[in-house]
């Protein structure tokens, strides 16, 4: 089970002041050095955090898996992914002005489009993951796009976990089991943290990767980046 560190928030801090402090590329290489299995970025057209040039530079600087998230409705995003050729592209249906992702794809409604995108990226040797809510129907329709993976959107789990962990996880377990039956590999991400990650990881079968950014970078302010990455990796073990 791999930990991919989303470094968008490092770029947000840099951009707030201008200049190159903190150094996003240095942050990516240090995350790798401290034990991260992958680096995730989610560039947006306005480049309010990760910039397109950051993506190009990170690809050259790291040796671990590289995951680029974004909406393939943006031609600039498609062009960037085809140029950089990351290990994985995660297709996320967010609008350009969203603060953060807040829902998965309707894989039935957008099946034709997603199938085209999966074929486009797969032809370039890029693994494709589709961001979905934990609904069996959405996973079944995702299967028909020929995607390699789906990423379960975990905000609902994180919110319910505080009061009802067993209720929070139940729908995700069913979704994970269905993905496995269909031969789709499984990722997860959004609002996972040191409090809820172990429970999620131990209850979700066949989980390949979690992508964590906001909580991990926030914890690193208090605990240090190296220590924080190791704490998150322990949650996955």
72 neighbors 78 (Cβ within 8 angstroms): yes
150 neighbors 186 (Cβ within 8 angstroms): yes
Catalytic residues: 42, 69, 190
d(CA 86, CA 74): 17
The 3-class SS string of 58-127 reads HHHHCCCEEEEEECCCCHHHHHHHHHHCCCEEEECCCCCCCCCCCCCCCCCCCHHHHHHHHHHHHCCCCE
3-state secondary structure of 40: strand
Long-range contacts at 226-233 (CB < 8 A, ≥ 24 apart): 226/30, 226/34, 226/35, 229/3, 229/5, 229/31, 229/34, 229/35, 229/36, 230/34, 230/35, 231/194, 232/3, 232/194, 232/197, 233/3, 233/35
């Amino acid at each position: 089970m791999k930990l991919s560190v989303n470094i968008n928030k490092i770029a947000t801090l840099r951009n707030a002041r201008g200049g190159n402090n903190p150094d996003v590329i240095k942050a990516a290489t240090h995350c790798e050095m401290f034990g991260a299995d992958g680096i995730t970025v989610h560039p947006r057209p306005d480049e309010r955090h990760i910039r397109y040039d950051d993506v190009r530079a990170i690809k050259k600087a790291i040796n671990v898996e590289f995951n680029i998230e974004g909406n393939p409705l943006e031609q600039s995003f498609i062009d960037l992914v085809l140029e950089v050729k990351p290990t994985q592209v995660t297709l996320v249906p967010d609008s350009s002005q969203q603060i953060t992702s807040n829902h998965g794809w309707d894989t039935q409604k957008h099946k034709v489009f997603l199938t085209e995108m999966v074929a486009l990226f797969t032809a370039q040797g890029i693994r494709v993951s589709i961001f979905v809510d934990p609904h069996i129907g959405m996973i079944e329709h995702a299967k028909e796009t020929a995607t390699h993976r789906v990423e379960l959107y975990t905000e609902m789990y994180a919110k319910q976990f505080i009061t009802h962990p067993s209720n929070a996880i139940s729908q995700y377990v069913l979704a994970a089991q269905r993905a496995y039956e269909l031969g789709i590999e499984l990722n997860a991400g959004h609002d996972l943290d040191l409090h809820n990650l172990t429970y999620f990881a131990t209850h979700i079968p066949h989980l390949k990767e979690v992508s964590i950014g906001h909580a991990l970078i926030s914890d690193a302010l208090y605990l240090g980046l190296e220590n924080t990455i190791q704490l998150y990796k322990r949650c996955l073990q």
